[in-house]
Amino acid sequence: MNKSEITKLLCSNLCVGKYKPFTTLEFNKILIQLEKTNTPLELLIEVEKKDLPLVFYNPSYILKEKDLSFIERIWGLLQRQGSIIFDYMDLEKWGISIVTIFDEDYPKQLKEKLKDKTPVLLYYCGKLSILENNFIGFVGSRNINSDDERYTKEWIKQVKNNNYGVVSGGASGIDSVASFEAIKNDLYVVEFLCGAMIDRIKNKLINKSIYEGKTLLLSETLPYTKFEPGFAMARNKYIYSISSKTIVVVATYKKNEKGIKTGGTWNGAIENLNSKFPNTYVWNNLKYSANTELINDFGGIPINESKDKKSIDDIFSCKEEHIYTENNLDIDLSKMDLSKIDKIDLEQALMIEENINNIKTDIDLKKIDGISHTVKEFILSNNNNEKYFLSKDLLNIETRYIILNKFINLDIPSSVKNIGHINKIEDAKIITKKTNSIYPLLMLNIPAKLKKEILDLVLTISLFD
């Protein structure tokens, strides 16, 4: 058996008997322990029960009761390899499969952003290759009105116009409005469910879209289970991780006995705003006090109606990520403390460029981890060497574009601006060569990882020689 198959035996909730499957946190601890004893995970199935303690503990260590229970649990779960097959077969009837962190097609976005919090396995129905596209997430309350529905549908039109797909939690309210409207517009849709996957598959619209290869259902929970509030909170971070940007349409909260504000959409938005990958946009609707608080107190990015040009540019610009500063306020350049900035985004880069003489640079920028090496040097030296600015250190795509535009005369043909979606490096190279322009690489809707790969490839060859 390979690592993936062993992982399913140890962690899946299929054919559960006496022994409780391991959680992601517990499984990660197992992997750490196996690494210490230099034991491959896949060899566990070949170890006899009496020898299992030697895999996890030093021979001189005296086993305690909890250790013996742990060994018994490992052994018991590994013995499911015969009976669990029948549950696999039952899931296959519904088109449901399992993917683990050891499979090549496991969602890369989750691994990249969640690290050790990445769910060890996921149940899914649909094509995992759908995740290669770019997505806008939609989250919000279950209890919505006609204006909330209108607002969501209007933004779905913009999503379609900009060649994005839609991610939601598949719940009633905003989630379902976004998903169903996206399906009707023939968009790619990903739903991260917190239970009831089989019930979702039974929906005719969802079922048809899955069959056509346009919708993917994902869940950390067993497909047979009903809605589980605990998993509803946990799956919020998965939605934000898969999305390039996420729109909070309606957030609400209630205060618990301790006076702490709590709510599904509310908690998910705050958790993401406090992460390294915020990209959280909030409907600037004064009727919703929770929305206003997310914007004013936690750094949510306000957006208005989908017809508002500024909002459209904010959502669908080529920036890879929004930068969240401590208070998300406009920067006073005369008092600017670069050590407090996590990263440099486009707006900050332009402000620095235009006001370079107003910024105190008596601190050692090279010791600030959050700012890329190239941007540090740009601030310090204001050097005009375009070759230097093509270096791989500068990962912010739009900032790189601004620098290139300033120091290199880019003639962008009008025909390039009308090019559709590029999804192959070979196509991008051909277009770039023929037009002698990096516009297709920087401004079109292609995955961030692919965009960086293309840039690093093309900008190191003879394009500007």
The tens digit of pLDDT for each residue in 423-441 reads: 555 665 666 666 555 545 5
Name the fold adopted by 108-316: Rossmann fold (3.40.50)
* Confidence band, pLDDT 50/70/90 cuts, at residue 236: confident
Residue 191 gets the label, from left (phi > 0), alpha (psi -120 to 50) or beta, of: beta
Lowest-pLDDT range of 115-124, 134-143, 395-404, 434-443:
395-404
Domain boundaries, the chain: 3-93, 108-316, 333-464
Of 429 and 13, which is predicted with more confidence?
Answer: 13
* Confidence band, pLDDT 50/70/90 cuts, at residue 451: low
- Helices 397-407 and 346-354 cross at an angle (nearest 10°) of 40
Average pLDDT of every residue of the chain: 76
Q: In this predicted structure, what is the pLDDT of residue 383?
A: 38
Is 0.85 surpassed by the pTM of this model?
no
Of 217 and 324, which is predicted with more confidence?
Answer: 217
Q: In this predicted structure, what is the pLDDT of residue 404?
A: 41
Q: What is the mean pLDDT of residues 109-133?
A: 93
* Confidence band, pLDDT 50/70/90 cuts, at residue 305: confident
pLDDT at 250 over 80: yes
CB atoms closer than 10 angstroms to residue 200: 21
Q: In this predicted structure, what is the pLDDT of residue 434?
A: 61
Q: What is the mean pLDDT of residues 200-216?
A: 96
Of 359 and 220, which is predicted with more confidence?
Answer: 220
Return the H-helix or E-strand segment holding 281: strand 280-283
Residue 322, phi then psi, degrees to nearest 5:
-80, 145
pLDDT tens, 176-186? 999 999 999 99
Of 235 and 219, which is predicted with more confidence?
Answer: 219
Q: In this predicted structure, what is the pLDDT of residue 427?
A: 61
Return the H-helix or E-strand segment holding 238: helix 236-242
Q: In this predicted structure, what is the pLDDT of residue 127?
A: 96
- Edge-first strand order for the sheet with 96-100 is 96-100, 121-125, 215-219, 189-193, 165-168, 135-140, 245-250, 280-283, 301-303
* Confidence band, pLDDT 50/70/90 cuts, at residue 456: low
* Confidence band, pLDDT 50/70/90 cuts, at residue 284: very high
Q: What is the mean pLDDT of residues 2-27?
A: 93
Of 182 and 353, which is predicted with more confidence?
Answer: 182
The SS3 assignment for 261 reads: strand
Q: In this predicted structure, what is the pLDDT of residue 158?
A: 93
Q: In this predicted structure, what is the pLDDT of residue 438?
A: 53
pLDDT at 75 over 70: yes
Q: What is the mean pLDDT of residues 258-277?
A: 84
Return the H-helix or E-strand segment holding 184: helix 174-184
Lowest-pLDDT range of 51-60, 165-174, 313-322, 374-383:
374-383
Q: What is the mean pLDDT of residues 190-199?
A: 92
* Confidence band, pLDDT 50/70/90 cuts, at residue 343: very low
pLDDT at 361 over 70: no
Return the H-helix or E-strand segment holding 150: helix 146-161
Amino acid at site 47? V
Of 396 and 306, which is predicted with more confidence?
Answer: 306
